[in-house]
Chains A and B, each alone.
Chain A
């Protein structure tokens, strides 16, 4: 278990976790119930994802060979962003992947056939076994991604982390909602933008974001509000220009993704009166061309306690992959062959990934 105390985790605060506030939406079951109960009768297929899917050319979501194992090492985070679909925060110290589960993940990598290990959280760097996991995945020849909130790199414990990650060829996918201050601070907490720029400078200083494929720095932008992500290619040009001109910061590529109606973003949608319109927007923007590239097809998601999911969003909504015995599957049981015949679980939240240009942990799809 982590020995991290909240005092060590000084970071920007947009809010506190649903869990800490004992908010009615803290349990995943309540979030699923809220989404299911929405009246979307005016939207296509009454907002039924399975129906929208069956009307599309693909008709059904079929798994393909596993390419990416996404490991969520825990909900602990130094930040408490208002849109977090994980409900992460400094208070979530108990939900951290233990060493034995990390070992099980590394063993599973050998069986998975995946070429990429995508490490996320919370702030994954706060897990005491983070570096062990990275070393193990690198030793197995995997491309490793660290999904980084940037501000975590300013903690004293992380001083050497940019160089350490760079030495191992780890790609950093860093969250930054906007290249200008206002949107970033309003979503992720006052002072986040300044901290993010400082962290990006440190990454640039050790060679990240300068076109070196072994030190790839990817920025990940999500909308600051109830609208879909913008055009990835066009935004990348503007961001590169803006961040370079105003802050002297460089990065390699920008990916955009839609916000998912889960946890604290769901809370915000509901409390701001945007939930119904946002869900209608997602349903109306269903784009069949995104289906073949949805990440649930080639990715397996592992939770901090080792359970398997079709994606990080199903993980947060507690919709696990269930084995033939009817019980949630564990990473110890990961078998690439049998997973190919699984049925990918879907729900209304899935419209978040199929809307517009599509959305995934790798950016837009269509």
Chain B
């Protein structure tokens, strides 16, 4: 058994069919099994990331943070690149990742209040 925190080596993951780096540039192939839904999704996706009240750069930073929260390696690669290209630097991107981390951590910790209530009720 490998320790829990170790990522699978690339050749192992490829053999198992998980997290193939080559899937990202071929994301559009998902249309093969349902073109209408894929088109709706990608149109929506494109519209979401167009500049609006937020700039494209700000949206890319949010996406980078969310990518870490949902732990999507494809999204992390894609939005690391996108953030740099939109003009963000390592410090800004690191802060974005910490925002995701704080929310994830906070989401766990705030449940501690439920634990606290339970303990208070159940204890003398």
Chains A and B form a bound pair: yes
The distance from the CB of A257 to the nearest CB of chain B, in whole angstroms, is 13
Which B residues between 73 and 94 are near A, CB-CB below 8 angstroms?
Answer: 81, 84-87, 89-92
Which single residue of chain B is at the shortest CB-CB distance from A180? B89
The distance from the CB of B80 to the nearest CB of chain A, in whole angstroms, is 10
B57 and A223 contact, CB distance less than 8 A: no
Q: Please measure, in the bound complex, the distance between the C-alpha atom of A161 and the C-alpha atom of B116, giving whole angstroms.
A: 69
Task: List A contacts of B84 (CB < 8 A).
Answer: 223-225, 227
Which single residue of chain B is at the shortest CB-CB distance from A235? B87
Residue A29 lies at the interface, judged by CB distance under 8 Å to chain B: no
Task: List A contacts of B51 (CB < 8 A).
Answer: 231, 234
Given A238-B55, A238-B57: A231 and B89 interface contact (C-beta under 8 Å): no
Q: Please measure, in the bound complex, the distance between the C-alpha atom of A153 and the C-alpha atom of B51, giving whole angstroms.
A: 37
Q: Please measure, in the bound complex, the distance between the C-alpha atom of A199 and the C-alpha atom of B43, giving whole angstroms.
A: 46
Task: List B contacts of A182 (CB < 8 A).
Answer: 89-91
Which B residues between 33 and 86 are near A, CB-CB below 8 angstroms?
Answer: 51, 55-57, 81, 84-86
Those 4 A-B pairs whose CB atoms lie nearest each other, nearest first: A230-B87, A227-B85, A235-B87, A230-B86
A234 and B56 contact, CB distance less than 8 A: yes
Residue A142 lies at the interface, judged by CB distance under 8 Å to chain B: no
Residue A330 lies at the interface, judged by CB distance under 8 Å to chain B: no
Q: Please measure, in the bound complex, the distance between the C-alpha atom of A228 and the C-alpha atom of B92, giving whole angstroms.
A: 18
Which single residue of chain A is at the shortest CB-CB distance from B87? A230
Partner of A178, one of B56, B85, B89: B89
Task: List A contacts of B86 (CB < 8 A).
Answer: 230-231, 234
28 inter-chain pairs at a CB distance below 8 angstroms, sorted by A residue, are A178-B89, A180-B89, A180-B91, A180-B92, A182-B89, A182-B90, A221-B87, A223-B84, A224-B84, A224-B89, A227-B81, A227-B84, A227-B85, A230-B57, A230-B87, A231-B51, A231-B57, A231-B86, A231-B87, A234-B51, A234-B55, A234-B57, A234-B86, A235-B57, A235-B87, A237-B55, A238-B57, A238-B87
The distance from the CB of B120 to the nearest CB of chain A, in whole angstroms, is 48
Task: List B contacts of A178 (CB < 8 A).
Answer: 87, 89
Which single residue of chain A is at the shortest CB-CB distance from B85? A227
Task: List A contacts of B81 (CB < 8 A).
Answer: 227
Which single residue of chain B is at the shortest CB-CB distance from A182? B89
The distance from the CB of B85 to the nearest CB of chain A, in whole angstroms, is 4
Residue A12 lies at the interface, judged by CB distance under 8 Å to chain B: no
Q: Please measure, in the bound complex, the distance between the C-alpha atom of A237 and the C-alpha atom of B55, giving whole angstroms.
A: 10
Residue in B55, B56, B84, B87 whose Cβ sees the most chain A Cβ within 10 Å: B87
Q: Please measure, in the bound complex, the distance between the C-alpha atom of A238 and the C-alpha atom of B86, giving whole angstroms.
A: 11
Residue in B51, B86, B92 whose Cβ sees the most chain A Cβ within 10 Å: B86
Q: Please measure, in the bound complex, the distance between the C-alpha atom of A271 and the C-alpha atom of B86, giving whole angstroms.
A: 24
A178-B87, A234-B57 given; name 4 further pairs at CB < 8 Å.
Answer: A180-B89, A230-B85, A235-B57, A238-B57
Q: Please measure, in the bound complex, the distance between the C-alpha atom of A228 and the C-alpha atom of B81, giving whole angstroms.
A: 10
Q: Please measure, in the bound complex, the distance between the C-alpha atom of A237 and the C-alpha atom of B87, giving whole angstroms.
A: 12
Given A234-B55, A238-B55: A228 and B85 interface contact (C-beta under 8 Å): yes
Task: List B contacts of A180 (CB < 8 A).
Answer: 89, 91-92
The distance from the CB of B55 to the nearest CB of chain A, in whole angstroms, is 5
Q: Please measure, in the bound complex, the distance between the C-alpha atom of A182 and the C-alpha atom of B87, giving whole angstroms.
A: 12
Q: Please measure, in the bound complex, the distance between the C-alpha atom of A221 and the C-alpha atom of B86, giving whole angstroms.
A: 12
Task: List A contacts of B89 (CB < 8 A).
Answer: 178, 180, 182-183, 224
The distance from the CB of A341 to the nearest CB of chain B, in whole angstroms, is 39
The distance from the CB of B1 to the nearest CB of chain A, in whole angstroms, is 33
Q: Please measure, in the bound complex, the distance between the C-alpha atom of A231 and the C-alpha atom of B56, giving whole angstroms.
A: 9
The distance from the CB of A179 to the nearest CB of chain B, in whole angstroms, is 9
Task: List B contacts of A229 (CB < 8 A).
Answer: 85
The distance from the CB of B21 to the nearest CB of chain A, in whole angstroms, is 12
Task: List B contacts of A224 (CB < 8 A).
Answer: 84, 89
The distance from the CB of A253 to the nearest CB of chain B, in whole angstroms, is 15
Q: Please measure, in the bound complex, the distance between the C-alpha atom of A216 and the C-alpha atom of B56, giving whole angstroms.
A: 28
B85 and A223 contact, CB distance less than 8 A: yes
Q: Please measure, in the bound complex, the distance between the C-alpha atom of A237 and the C-alpha atom of B57, giving whole angstroms.
A: 12
Which A residues between 233 and 286 are near B, CB-CB below 8 angstroms?
Answer: 234-235, 237-238
